[in-house]
Every structure is written in structure tokens, then in C-alpha cells.
């Protein structure tokens, strides 16, 4: 019997192809973008085990995207699978394995390929408490949408100012668990090498600090430069280490005053009521005035840099029910620069408190936080946003001190500002609830102490404080009295939903917007979620125009409780 040689599809003459092969080749020739190739790569990867047959079947699509992005074929396949889940900021390897029909261990064996994608910034990894997950940055999606590879670029570090700006970016990645202490240590040394001739770097060399103590000092200097922080506790230092666990050597040296940083006169203990605190530290005047002299520090200077700038908020048209619209318009008018100064002056002359404390409360997704951002943008006021979870500490008395320090810092910023920023307690449910009577547990006492500090500070506040909360009936009466404006954000009416749909998806017809508004009782936040997911799907599929049925399907799946998907856990 004569053996027939099997040719690859690409080498097979058209006249001996079957119809399916011909159609497949026609489709292949029409690939116009990376995202189109990704769509085929993902579809074919379903339950494929990513085996050799899969790579032969999807070969043309993989090769197209691989050449375009300058990635290996396996890296290209993995990236396509991650991009397909890009609406999720915590993509797990097990999800990729489950979709492709692989064992998780197989994907783990491909970790080196995923590491390359991370090194090229196509992916960002979060390693929180040994839980590994990934996300696809928005800049990557933008590049893919424009059918080009993503090239990560950074501005050169030219002086000490830009060094601390770049270090601040590193610390944000550290706080988001997207880098490790080891990488932070290495990257900081790289940044220092770019300004090796600066007085700051030459001073560090003169002190002959070891790598860990050099990083510790730079981090403390960063806290002072960015936040004007003169009270650095162990809770602040946690952010410098993986899983927020300070090494024992660090605590021992700092508590025992044996650290090199004390010997070099770079840090000192905080003094309170004539007593040195063994758990609180600050930069010495020598460190501020000499080692950091190139920054020409004035205490007023850098304290504003950690604020969220008003012009960083993109303009959004928010749709309100009539009951909220009038109150928000009035508050925005009051907080405008000229109007606010006039009102404060009159209140001061009348012997009344001049601070403005407002409460935005209501269901999730009704626009409370976004309203604060838009008020800030309209009035030109920056925002000092409070993360309550970071203020609370497991150390006795530390949480209360953190809260006092927060208000002290806000006062200093207001003194050095021509326009007072907004102090935003976002999602403040944990601190606005009813106080515990006769509290005996340490945690309850701490909660009560924090609330009492906030109540006292609200009495003497001279700036602007806005708190947002989902609480509806558990608000402490003492807080209720101190909020001058209390604005309830209700779920949008059918008419408001109609206008939100039109604002979010301008290409919707009036009938389609009316259909969606009447069929689904969604909040503005839920509608925004749906439009984002629909837009991502449209980008990945290369679809133009509006597909109402696709939007309706996403609406049905938006709420977990309304979803037809299988639920995990117990049914009560």
C-alpha cells in the first residue's frame, strides 16, 4: 500500500481541500487585528487542554498575534485568555485552567511564560497573602484595541524630586500587592543609580547603611516628603514588607534604639509629654535640612502631593432623581471658592462653627462617591480620601493616634492652602454606626474612642468633610446632629434610568433605552458596570453597533441573586 504524505493545511493545495478547510483558510486570510485573532484563539482553547492539536488548529491565529506582539506562541495564547477575562481585576490561574480544560498544575508549569508577560507589563500580578491573581491594565487593552503591541515606558529620573515621585509609584504597587519587598529593594537601588551624583545618594553612601536600613530610611523619608508625617508607627512600616509583616530584626532594632538609623542621626523617637515613644519615629532635623536639602523642603510643600487632584477626575454627567438634584446643586454652589469664603465669614461673625460636614447615604451604586468627585472637580478642590481600614490597627491606642494624626494633617493642609480640600470618609459605615454602651471588649472600646475623636474634630473643623455610607437606619444620633447636609441617594426612577442608559450608551435608540430602563431596576453603578462589560465584549469581538439582546443578557447576570448561574454555598 502506498503511504500518503499528510501535508499541513497551509501547504495543502486548494483543489484537494475539503469545504471546511477552504472556509477556514478564507477566514484566516481575513484576520485584521490582534483582538480578532484573540477571539479565535480563545474560542478554540475551550476544553482543548492546550495540546498539540489545539496549537495546530489555531496556528494561523496564534502566529498572527505572536508576530504582531513579539511574543512566543504560548505567551500569546495565555495573554489572549487573560484579556478575555479583563473585566476582572483578580484573574486566577485556576480560572484559565478550568476554561482550557487543563489541570491547574499545567498552567503553573507555564509560570515562566506568564512571568514574561508580567515583565513586559501586559499583566500585573497581586500576591496578597500567598494568593496569586492577575489583572490586565487598561493601557494594555487600549494598545490592543489600536492593534499594536504594548510598550511600557517610564520617564528618566533626573533629580531627587523625580526619585521620590517614582518611589511613590512603587509604594502604590506595594500597597496593591503588585510587587514584592525584594523587587522594591532592587528597583529602589536602580533608581538611586540614576541619580548617583546627587548629594542625597552620596550621603547615603557615606553612612554605609546596609540595603534593608537604607530602604527603611528612604521609606520614612518618603512618608515625610509625601505626607509631612512626623509620627511614623509600626503600622506605617508594615506597608514596606510582604503581607504587611515587619521582620523581627526591624522591630527589635527600632524598639531597642540599636538601629543604624539612630547611630547616623537620621531618625529619632517621637516625644509625647516629655516621654520618648519606643514605637513611634520621625526624621531628625538633620535628615530633613541636610540629607534632603536638594528638595528645599518646606513643611507646607509636599503635604498636598498625596491629595487626589481635582483635575484628575474626568467630567461625568450624573443623572439624579429630582429629590437629590436640588440638594446637590445647592451644596456645589456653597462650596464654590467665593461663596464658601463669604458663608464662613458670616458664620464666624455670628459665633457659629465654620466647618461644613455633609453626609451622603443610600444604596450602593447610586453615585455617592462619584458625586463627591464631581463636586471637587467643579469647585477646584482636591480630596484627602480616608481609608478607614488603614487607620485601624491591632496595636492598643494606635488607631486613635492615627485618627488624630489624620485630622492634624488635614488642618496643616488647610492652613497652607488657599482653597480647603475635601476630607472624604468614603464607605464610612464602620465608624458612623451606633456606639456601644458599656463596652468591655478592647475592640469595642477602640471603636468608641475613634468615633469620639471624629465627633470632637467635627466640632472644631474649619474645612469641608463629606462622609458616604450605605447605612440607612444605624447612624449614631451624635453624628446625625453634626452633619449639616444629609443627602439621601435613592435608587434611580425609571425616567432617571432611561437617561442614564442614554448617557452611558449614546448609540442606544430611545426605544432600546426605554426597554432597558423599564425591564431592569438597576442602580447607576450597575448600569455603568454593564456598559463597561458590554464595551469590553464588543472590543474583543470586533463588533460595531448595538446588540440589545447582548445587553439584556448582561443585565440579567449583573446581580448574583438574580443570576441563573449555579450558586456556591448553602441555601437558607
pLDDT tens-digit readout, 24-33 = 554 545 788 9
Mean pLDDT is highest, among 36-45, 222-231, 471-480, for 36-45
Task: Grade residue 99 by pLDDT with cuts at 50, 70 and 90.
Answer: very high
Task: Please indicate, yes or no, whether residues 386 and 465 belong to a single structural domain of this protein.
Answer: yes
Query: Residue 392: how many CA atoms within 13 Å on its side-chain side?
Result: 16
Q: Give Cα 465 to chain centroid, integer Å.
A: 22
CATH of the domain at 119: 1.10.10
* Residue 422: φ, ψ to 5°: -95, 125
The per-residue DSSP string of 133-183 comes to: EEE--HHHHHHHHTTS----------SHHHHHHHHHHHHHHHHTTSS-HHH
CA distance linking residue 338 with residue 358, whole number of Å: 19
**Is 69's pLDDT higher than 80?**
yes
More confident site: 485 or 300: 485
Last residue of a domain, one of 302, 329, 362: 302
Q: Which residues form the domain of 189?
A: 160-302
Contact 432, 476 (CB under 8 A): yes
Q: Are residues 498 and 477 in the same domain?
A: no
- The total number of structural domains in the chain stands at 4
In this structure, the answer to whether residues 324 and 272 fall within a common structural domain is no
Domain match, 179 and 237 both? yes
Mean pLDDT of all residues in the chain? 84
Structural domain contains residue 83: yes
pLDDT at 472: 63
pLDDT tens track for 47-64 = 999 999 999 999 999 999
Residue 371 lies in a domain: yes
In a domain, 395, yes or no: yes
- What is the Cα–Cα distance from 232 to 228, expressed in whole angstroms? 10
Contact call for residues 191 and 166 (beta carbons, < 8 A): yes
For residue 541, the domain's CATH number is 1.10.8
- Low-confidence winner among 11-25, 182-196, 549-563 (lowest mean pLDDT): 11-25
pLDDT computed for residue 201 by the predictor: 93
Q: Are residues 364 and 501 in the same domain?
A: no
Q: Give CA separation, 38 vs 2, 56, 91, 337, 537, in Å.
A: 40, 15, 17, 51, 12
Q: Looking at the predicted structure, is the pLDDT value of residue 260 above 80?
A: yes
Query: Has residue 251 got a pLDDT over 80?
Result: yes
Q: In the predicted model, is pLDDT for residue 219 greater than 90? A: yes
* pLDDT at 87 (0 to 100): 87
- Measure the CA angle with vertex 553, ends 551 and 556; round to 5°: 110
pLDDT at 9: 45
Q: Residue range 205-229: average pLDDT?
A: 92
Higher pLDDT, 291 or 400: 291
What b-and-e string marks burial along 14-51, b requiring 16 or more CB atoms within 10 Å of the CB? eeeeeeeeeeebeebeebebbbbbbbbbbebbeebebe
pLDDT of the residue at 415: 76
Quote the CA–CA distance of 496 and 504 in Å, as a whole number. 12
Residue 303 has pLDDT above 50, yes or no: no
pLDDT, mean of residues 209-235: 92
CA 243, CA 240: separation in Å to the nearest integer?
9
Collapsed DSSP state (helix, strand, coil) of residue 405? helix
Same structural domain, 348 and 480:
yes
291: cell is: 540629607
In this structure, are 344 and 426 located in the same domain? Answer: yes
Q: Is the pLDDT of residue 248 over 90?
A: yes
**pLDDT tens profile 346-366:** 988 988 888 899 999 988 888
Percent helix, strand, coil in the chain (nearest 5)?
Answer: 55, 10, 35
Please, which residues bridge with residue 385 across strands?
A: 424
Q: Is residue 114 part of a domain?
A: yes
Is 254 contained in some domain? yes
**Is there a single domain that holds both residue 353 and residue 412?**
yes
The torsion region of residue 471 among left (phi > 0), alpha (psi -120 to 50) and beta comes to beta
Query: Which of 538, 505, 561 lies closest to 87, judged by CA?
Result: 538
| CA dist list (Å): 23 to 26, 35, 570 | 5, 20, 49
Give Cβ neighbours of residue 477 (< 8 Å, ≥ 6 apart): none
153 belongs to a structural domain? no
**Would you state the pLDDT for residue 1?**
38
The verdict on 476 and 515 lying in the same domain is no
User: pLDDT over 70 for what percent of the chain?
Assistant: 87
User: What span, in angstroms and rounded, lies between the C-alpha atoms of 508 and 504?
Assistant: 9
Of the three residues 489, 513, 532, the one that is the final residue of a domain is 489
Mean pLDDT on 202-228: 92
In a domain, 1, yes or no: no
Exposed e or buried b per residue across 263-282, where buried means at least 16 C-beta atoms within 10 angstroms of its C-beta: ebebbbbbeeeeeeeebbbb
C-alpha count within 13 angstroms, C-beta hemisphere, residue 474: 12
pLDDT for the residue numbered 18: 55
Contacts of 275 (CB under 8 A, 6+ apart): none
Q: In the structure grid, which three cell numbers stand for residue 525, read together?
A: 453603578
> Average pLDDT of 277-296?
88
Closest alpha carbon to 292 in 185, 203, 395, 391: 203
Percent of the chain with pLDDT over 90: 44
Domain check: are 474 and 533 in the same one?
Answer: no
Predicted confidence at residue 304, as pLDDT, reads 52
- Identify the helix (H) or strand (E) that includes residue 251: helix 248-255
DSSP codes joined into one string, 454-495 = HHHHHHH--SEEEEEE--SS-B-HHHHHH-SEEEEEPPPPHH
How confident is the model over 369-412, as pLDDT tens digits? 999 999 999 999 999 998 777 676 545 466 777 788 788 788 87
Mean pLDDT (whole number) for 179-206: 92
The residues facing 532 across adjacent strands are: none
Residue 399, C-alpha cell as written in the block: 488607631
- Domain contains 151: no
Q: Cα(474)–Cα(530) distance, rounded to whole angstroms?
A: 31
Between residues 4 and 275, which one has the greater pLDDT?
Answer: 275
Q: What is the pLDDT of residue 300?
A: 43
| pLDDT confidence of residue 16 | 55
Residue 21 has pLDDT above 80, yes or no: no
Q: Among 128-137, 248-257, 428-437, 501-510, name the one with the lowest average pLDDT.
A: 428-437
Strands 356-362 and 464-469: parallel
Instruction: Mark whether 372 and 423 lie in a shared domain.
Output: yes
Q: How would residue 306 be classed by pLDDT, with cut points 50, 70 and 90?
A: low
Please name the residues in contact with 499: beta carbons below 8 A apart, sequence gap of 6 or more.
319
Pair (125, 173) in one structural domain: no
CB atoms within 10 A of CB 70: 11
Domain finish residue from 434, 460, 489: 489
Give the per-residue pLDDT at 193: 93
For residues 247-266, average pLDDT: 93
* Nearest-10 crossing angle of helices 211-227, 181-194: 80
Give the pLDDT mean for 153-160: 87
Sign of CA dihedral 221, 226, 232, 238: negative
* 566 band by pLDDT with thresholds 50, 70 and 90: very low
User: CB–CB of 71/79 below 8 Å?
Assistant: yes
pLDDT band at 525 (very low <50, low <70, confident <90, very high): confident
Predicted confidence (pLDDT) at residue 34 exceeds the cutoff of 50: yes
pLDDT value at 136 more than 70? yes
Cell numbers that stand for 72 in this block:
512566543
Amino acid at each position: 500500500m502506498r503511504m500518503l504524505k499528510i501535508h499541513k493545511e497551509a501547504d495543502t493545495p486548494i483543489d484537494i481541500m475539503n469545504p471546511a478547510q477552504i472556509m477556514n483558510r478564507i477566514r484566516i486570510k481575513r484576520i485584521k487585528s490582534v483582538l480578532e485573532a484573540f477571539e479565535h484563539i480563545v474560542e478554540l482553547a475551550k476544553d482543548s487542554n492546550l495540546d498539540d492539536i489545539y496549537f495546530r488548529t489555531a496556528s494561523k491565529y496564534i502566529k498572527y498575534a505572536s508576530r504582531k506582539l513579539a511574543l512566543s506562541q504560548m505567551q500569546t495564547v495565555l495573554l489572549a485568555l487573560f484579556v478575555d477575562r479583563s473585566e476582572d481585576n483578580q484573574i486566577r490561574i485556576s480560572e484559565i485552567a478550568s476554561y482550557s480544560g487543563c489541570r491547574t498544575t499545567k498552567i503553573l508549569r507555564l509560570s515562566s511564560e506568564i512571568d514574561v508577560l508580567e515583565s513586559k507589563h501586559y499583566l500585573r500580578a497581586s500576591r496578597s497573602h500567598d494568593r496569586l491573581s492577575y489583572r490586565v491594565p487598561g493601557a494594555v487593552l487600549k494598545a490592543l484595541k489600536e492593534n499594536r503591541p504594548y510598550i511600557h515606558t517610564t520617564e528618566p529620573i533626573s533629580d531627587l524630586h523625580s526619585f521620590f515621585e517614582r518611589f511613590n509609584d512603587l509604594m502604590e504597587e506595594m500597597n496593591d500587592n503588585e510587587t514584592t519587598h525584594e523587587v522594591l529593594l532592587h528597583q529602589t537601588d536602580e533608581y538611586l543609580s540614576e541619580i548617583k551624583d546627587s548629594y542625597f545618594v552620596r550621603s547615603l553612601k557615606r553612612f554605609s547603611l546596609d540595603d534593608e536600613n537604607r530602604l527603611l530610611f528612604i521609606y520614612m523619608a518618603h512618608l515625610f516628603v509625601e505626607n509631612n508625617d512626623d509620627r511614623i508607627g509600626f503600622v506605617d512600616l508594615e506597608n514596606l514588607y510582604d503581607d504587611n509583616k515587619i521582620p523581627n530584626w526591624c522591630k527589635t532594632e527600632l524598639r531597642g534604639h540599636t538601629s543604624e538609623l539612630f547611630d547616623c542621626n537620621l531618625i529619632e523617637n517621637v516625644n509625647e509629654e516629655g516621654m520618648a515613644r519606643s514605637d513611634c519615629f520621625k526624621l531628625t532635623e538633620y535628615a530633613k535640612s541636610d540629607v534632603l536639602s536638594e528638595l528645599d523642603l518646606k513643611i507646607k510643600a509636599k503635604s498636598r502631593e498625596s491629595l487626589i487632584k481635582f483635575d484628575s477626575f474626568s467630567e461625568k454627567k450624573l443623572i439624579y432623581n429630582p429629590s437629590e438634584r436640588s440638594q446637590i446643586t445647592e451644596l456645589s454652589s456653597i462650596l464654590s471658592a467665593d461663596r464658601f469664603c463669604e458663608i464662613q465669614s458670616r458664620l464666624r461673625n455670628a459665633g457659629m462653627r465654620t466647618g461644613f460636614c455633609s453626609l451622603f447615604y443610600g444604596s450602593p451604586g447610586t453615585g455617592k462617591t462619584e458625586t463627591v468627585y464631581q463636586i471637587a472637580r467643579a469647585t477646584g478642590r482636591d480630596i484627602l480620601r480616608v481609608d478607614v481600614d488603614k487607620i485601624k490597627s491591632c496595636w492598643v491606642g494606635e488607631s486613635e493616634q492615627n485618627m488624630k494624626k489624620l485630622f492634624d494633617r488635614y488642618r496643616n493642609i488647610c492652613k497652607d492652602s488657599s482653597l480647603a480640600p475635601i476630607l472624604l470618609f468614603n464607605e464610612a459605615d464602620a465608624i458612623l454606626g451606633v456606639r456601644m454602651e458599656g463596652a468591655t471588649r478592647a475592640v469595642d472600646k477602640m471603636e468608641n474612642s475613634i468615633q469620639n475623636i471624629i465627633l470632637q474634630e467635627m466640632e472644631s473643623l474649619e474645612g469641608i468633610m463629606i462622609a458616604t455610607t450605605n447605612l440607612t437606619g444605624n447612624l449614631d444620633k451624635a453624628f446625625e446632629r453634626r452633619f449639616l447636609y444629609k443627602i439621601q441617594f435613592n435608587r434611580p426612577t425609571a425616567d432617571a434610568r432611561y437617561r442614564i442608559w442614554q448617557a452611558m450608551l449614546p448609540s442606544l435608540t430611545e426605544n432600546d433605552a426605554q426597554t432597558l430602563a423599564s425591564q431592569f431596576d438597576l442602580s447607576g453603578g450597575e448600569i455603568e458596570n454593564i456598559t463597561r462589560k458590554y464595551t469590553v465584549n464588543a472590543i474583543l469581538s470586533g463588533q460595531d453597533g448595538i446588540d440589545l439582546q447582548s445587553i439584556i443578557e448582561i443585565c440579567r447576570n449583573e446581580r448574583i441573586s438574580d443570576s441563573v448561574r449555579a450558586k456556591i454555598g448553602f441555601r437558607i
